Structure formats: C-alpha cells, structure tokens
Amino acid sequence: MSATDVQSAADVVPRGRSGPSPDGVAARPARPARRRRSPAEWVRRGGLSTVVLALPLLVIFGVFSWLPIGRAVVMSFQETNLLTAHWVGLDNFRAVLADPLLPVAVRNTAWFALLALVFGYPVPLVGAVLMSTLRRMRGLFSVLAYLPVVVPPVVAVLLWKFFYDPRPEGVFNEILGWVGLGPFPWLQDQTAAMPSLVLEATWAAAGGTVIIYLAALTSVPPELYDAAEVDGASIWGKIRHVTLPHLRGVLLITFILQIIGTAQVFLEPYLFTGGGPANATVTVLLLIYRYAFGQSLGSDYGMATALSLMLAVFLALLSIAWFRLTRNWSTS
C-alpha cells in the first residue's frame, strides 16, 4: 500500500455536511418491518442478561453522574443551603454576571488556556515524534515521560511549590542563579504566577498525551516512511507529509480535550496560590468553588451551579462548533 492508495481510499469517504440532508433520508433503505418478539424469546436471545449486565453501570452513572448534574441544574434556579430551598428564577445567573470577579476569572482562564495551548500542546507531540524515531530505549523514555502523571497531583503541586520558592535559595532560583538569572518571584508576582502554573500543569499532563500520540504513531505503516525516503524526503518532510496527516484525527481530539480541560483548571490555582496574588490566578472553576465553599458559611450553591451550567453550555457549544468545523479535516 502506498501513499497514493491512502489518498484514494480517503477520497471515497463521502464528505459530510452538517445537518441531515433530505437526500440522505430518502436514500436510506426502508427497514423491514420488525417482527414483535415474545418476552420469552427476548430473554432467550440474551436481552435480559444484557440489561442485568448494564444495570450496575446505569445505576452508578445515574446516581453519581446524572443525578448530581440534574440536581445542579435545579439548584441553579434556587436559593438553597442544602437544607431549605426556594425558587429564585434567573437571579443566580444575574448575580454571577454582575460579579466583578467574573470577567477577571474568565480572562485568567482564557490566559491559562492560551498559555497551555502554546506551550502544552506542542510539547507532547514533539516528544512523541522524537520518541517514535528511537530504535532503542523507547520504553524507558515512555516511562520517564509518563512518570509525572503517576505522581498524585497534590504531591506534585506541593513539590513544585517548593521549587518555586521565591528566595534566592529556592530550587529554581538557585539553578537559574548558576547562569546568572533571577531570582524570580514565580508565584509571588501577579504577572509570573499564571505562567508558573502552566509550566507545572504542562509537566504534569504531557505524559498522558505523549502516550496517546505514541499509540497513534504505531498505526502509521512503516512502508510510508520507506516510500518517502525513496522519494528523497527529509526528516521534516516525513513528519510533515506522513506523520502529521496520520495523527490529524487524534490531534483534533486532543486539541478540544485540552481546551475543555484547561477551561476547567482548578487544582493548580487552588493549591498553588488560592487564586492570588490579588486575584491574578482566579479561574472560573475556582470562582465556582468560592461561591459554593469559599466562605466558611458558603451557601451560594445557587450561584455556583449557575456558573457551572453556564460553563458547561459554553464548552458544549464550543465542542459542537469545533467538530462541525473540523469534520472535513479529520476525514480527509
């Protein structure tokens, strides 16, 4: 199979368009009328066991995922302290939109997402591509790359807090001092705090993505590289014309997953800075947490769920738009 075959194979896949087309509906072959099955037959054919097997999953999902989600939607229209509740219409949404911290949180979250995209997105890709070219010790490098993911996040953050000690004898400042740089304030500066969080988050998350890319890279037929080499392609040429096109689908998915993930960033600002200094790292999720629990008497569960709902709707719309936009790219 050559590159041309791949291209032609891709060409026969119909280019999708958004929305059901009337033609498509008409072209669908008419289904044969379904014969009604007796309950006994349904059981004999495994219907019952299917339901029984699926039941634990449905119950667990229902109780621990869907029920809380439904409850949150209800709560966003209520004022409640979890003991008593009354309906307040859209008041919670109005209160959230009027909060002067909301624009700050949205801006900070967008800034985090952008920084994470610029630094965090390419790093695992480059790492995976480099690792895939290794003939030996690939396993060792995979382990090293994945190790940070295994470290419990709280431990990792506490460790990095130590690294980010702003004093000249702090770990990073000491090391940078050897080459005449710093000392830097890291988390103790309103401008430097967010990039510092992104640095740790990238370190912590890159390993998982590297593994996904490595797995995807194994699906690239080696013949393609051989063919490219015969055609005189450079390393960059091979990456550009063979590797990246094969990773396209995965890249598009990891891109939107990263956006969704970074829009929900909480752990780093919560543990590193508590949103400080001076609200420089308050993110949308941290704001939600503050509404719900941030004050010792926190009873703004309504505002917290309202903002959660708004974030969820925003991310859902973004995801839909992204998949519509990229539908053509991923199948070509």
Partner 1 sequence: MRSRRSTSALALSGAVAIGLLAGCASDDPADPAPGGEPAGEEKVTLTVVSLIPGSEQAAFDAFEERVAQFEERYPNIDVEGVEYEWRATTFAAQLAGGTLPDVFEIPLTDAKTLIENGQLADLDEAFAQLDYAEEFNEALLDAGRGEDGHVYAIPAKSVYGVALHYNRELFEQAGLDPDDPPSTWDEVREYAKQIKDATGVAGYATMATNNTGGWQLTAATYSRGGRVQEATDDGTYVATLDNPATQAHLEMLEAMRWEDDSLLADTTLDWSTINQAFAAGQLAMYTTGSDVLNALMETNGLDPAVYGMTAMPLEGADAGVLVGGTLAAVTAQADDATKDAAIKWIDHWYLSTLRDQEQAVADAKVRFEAGQGVGTPVLPIFSREQYEQELAWKADYINVPLDQMTGYTDVMFDQPVVGEPSRATQETYALLDVPVQAVLTDRNADIPALLAAANEQAQALLDE
Residues that bind partner 1 (CB under 8 A): 81-84, 100, 154, 158, 161, 166, 185, 187-190, 270-274, 276-280, 290, 292-299
Cis peptide before 185 (omega within 30 of 0): no
| Residues 6 or more apart in contact with residue 13 via CB below 8 angstroms | 331
Of 79 and 210, which CB lies nearer to partner 1 in the complex structure? 79
Between residues 225 and 266, which has the closer beta carbon with respect to partner 1? 266
Residue type, position 125, single letter: L
141 vs 184 by CB, closer to partner 1: 184
Is the Cβ of residue 27 or residue 297 nearer to partner 1 in the bound state?
297
Query: Could you tell me the smallest distance in angstroms from the CB atom of residue 210 to partner 1?
Result: 28
Provide, rounded to whole angstroms, the least separation between the CB of residue 84 and partner 1. Answer: 8
Centre a 10 Å sphere on the Cβ of residue 209 and count the other Cβ atoms it contains: 23
Please give the Cα distance from 58 to 278 (Å, whole number).
44
Pick the closer one to partner 1 by CB: 161 or 241: 161
Q: Which is nearer to partner 1, 299 or 319 (CB)?
A: 299
CB of 314 to partner 1, least distance (A): 25
- Least distance (Å) from partner 1 to the CB of residue 289? 8
Residue type, 189: D
Beta-carbon contacts of 162 under 8 Å, excluding residues fewer than 6 positions away, are 170, 171
Shortest Cβ 261–partner 1 spacing (Å) = 20
Contacts of residue 283, Cβ cutoff 8 Å, sequence gap at least 6: 105, 108, 109, 112, 265, 266, 269, 275
What lies within 8 Å, CB to CB, of 58 at 6+ separation is: none
Give me the DSSP letters along 115-168. HIIIIITHHHHHHHHHHHH-SS-HHHHHHHHHHHHHS-HHHHHHHHHHHT--ST
